Amino acid sequence: MGIENVVIVGSGPSAYTAAVYASRANLNPLIIEGEGGRNEGIPGGQLMITTEVENYPGFPKGVQGPELMQLMREQAERFGTRIETGWVEKVDASTRPFTLKTTEKTYQTKAVIVATGAGAKFLGIPSEKLLMNKGVSACATCDGALPLFRNKKLVVVGGGDTAVEEATFLTRFASKVALVHRRDSLRASKIMQEKAKKNPKIEFVWNSVVEEILDVTKGRVSGVKLRNVNTNETTTMEIGGIFVAIGHEPNTSFLKGVVDLDDKGYVKVSRGTYTSVEGIFAAGDCVDHVYRQAITAAGQGCMAAIDVERWLESQGH
């Protein structure tokens, strides 16, 4: 078994950009992409479940998420990136070279770039999956401006900073935004709350959870069935779209005890993309819980590849 210069774990904008830069630096990188079907590492990342991407530079008419990922993949492969499919289940960083184990194979590598992304947490009701991209979204910044949501009443589910931020953002396009929260007060920062409460387009639906998203038979979101957690009473609200903003989960469970993670599981980095272990670098949404955009993930992927190239040089490789 040969020793790789760098293995990139993941397959979103961050992983592909890192691969483009690493390939062009003659590092002959290997990408290990997820197999889909689990939350961790959908091949192509979160953009595979996004339809229209209108905010990625270079595409003045917009581009479909899966198409953008396919183009990035082809660009990485054009410069010689090899791509294999598998789940990285274990990383042994106790000896050099590092050992990565997937369900079927073992790899040895001088350096690792973790670009596994993060998955949006969902409500877990069947209609949510069936209506994904048909009025159900997990990213207002990505989808809010689409014609599908314009001048409609929309629902945002959640009570943290993300939910309040998304609700405020959506008021630019929606006729009204209902913020549905299971408690009677928000977890969001005071300044965000005050901003939302002053916004005439935002209404608050307290102590309520989403029981059902309507209407699967129509093939698009037309309403939502809400249940009051105190009274168990259910009501139906007519809406044109629903944004789930109950948080994200970084795909980093395989790194526990290997590199330093924060209390939410995001990889801690310093000096750019360096993790707490020399030779392991991290980029994209598994690091960044603030911006979470394709363009910022791609930028960090570029940084990680440059950091790897310089680090390998400093090690005499």
Q: How many CB atoms lie within 10 A of CB 258?
A: 21
pLDDT at 37 over 80: no
String of b and e for 144-163 (b: at least 16 CB within 10 Å)? bbbebbeebbbbbbbbbbbb
- What values do phi and psi take at 129, rounded to 5? -65, -45
Q: Same structural domain for residues 217 and 263?
A: no
Q: Same structural domain for residues 142 and 36?
A: no
C-alpha 289/C-alpha 261 separation (Å) is 13
pLDDT above 90 covers what percent of the chain? 79
Looking at residue 162, its pLDDT comes to 83
pTM of the model: 0.77
pLDDT at 80 over 80: yes
Q: Same structural domain for residues 77 and 214?
A: no
Catalytic residues: 139, 142-143
Q: Same structural domain for residues 66 and 107?
A: yes
pLDDT single digits (tens) 255-292? 999 999 999 999 999 999 999 999 999 999 999 988 88
C-alpha 159/C-alpha 193 separation (Å) is 10
Q: Same structural domain for residues 64 and 208?
A: no
pLDDT at 220 over 80: yes
Question: What's the Cα-to-Cα distance from 140 to each of 146, 264, 275, rounded to whole Å?
Answer: 10, 22, 30
Final residue of a domain: which of 219, 244, 269?
244
Q: pLDDT confidence of 94, banded at 50, 70, 90? A: very high
Looking at residue 192, its pLDDT comes to 86
pLDDT single digits (tens) 142-159? 889 999 999 999 999 999
More confident residue, 247 or 301: 301
How large is the average pLDDT for residues 71-92?
Answer: 95
Q: Same structural domain for residues 151 and 200?
A: yes
How large is the average pLDDT for residues 114-119?
Answer: 92
Q: Same structural domain for residues 138 and 214?
A: yes
Q: Same structural domain for residues 30 and 99?
A: yes
Looking at residue 38, its pLDDT comes to 37
Final residue of a domain: which of 221, 244, 267?
244
Each as own residue / partner, the long-range contacts of residues 221-229 (CB below 8 Å, 24 or more positions apart, any chain) are 221/131, 221/134, 221/135, 221/136, 222/135, 224/155, 224/180, 226/180, 229/182
Looking at residue 51, its pLDDT comes to 64
More confident residue, 64 or 202: 202
Query: Number of H helices and number of E strands within the chain?
Result: 7, 19
From the number of C-beta atoms within 10 Å of its C-beta (0-12, 13-18, 19+), residue 238 rates as exposed
Question: What's the Cα-to-Cα distance from 199 to each of 46, 141, 166, 178, rounded to whole Å?
Answer: 30, 18, 13, 12
Question: What's the Cα-to-Cα distance from 148 to each of 51, 113, 134, rounded to whole Å?
Answer: 11, 37, 8
pLDDT at 87 over 50: yes
Q: How many CB atoms lie within 10 A of CB 220?
A: 16
More confident residue, 41 or 16: 16
Q: Same structural domain for residues 52 and 155?
A: no
Domain that holds residue 225: 122-244
Mean pLDDT of the chain: 92
pLDDT at 214 over 90: yes
Q: Which amino acid is at 114?
A: V
How large is the average pLDDT for residues 180-190?
Answer: 91
Sheet architecture: strand order including 241-244: 136-137, 241-244, 153-157, 176-180, 202-205
More confident residue, 1 or 33: 33
Q: pLDDT confidence of 41, banded at 50, 70, 90? A: very low
Tokens of 219: 């093939």
Final residue of a domain: which of 187, 222, 244?
244
Sheet architecture: strand order including 223-228: 208-214, 223-228, 234-238
Looking at residue 50, its pLDDT comes to 63
Q: pLDDT confidence of 24, banded at 50, 70, 90? A: very high
C-alpha 64/C-alpha 79 separation (Å) is 23
pLDDT at 42 over 60: no
Looking at residue 43, its pLDDT comes to 56
What 3-state DSSP class applies to 11?
coil
Q: Same structural domain for residues 307 and 204?
A: no
Q: Same structural domain for residues 111 and 146?
A: no
Q: Same structural domain for residues 132 and 48?
A: no
Tokens of 246: 């109950």
pLDDT single digits (tens) 234-253? 999 999 999 999 988 899 99
pLDDT at 39 over 50: no
How many domains does the structure of the chain reveal? Answer: 2
* CATH number of the CATH domain containing 158: 3.50.50.60
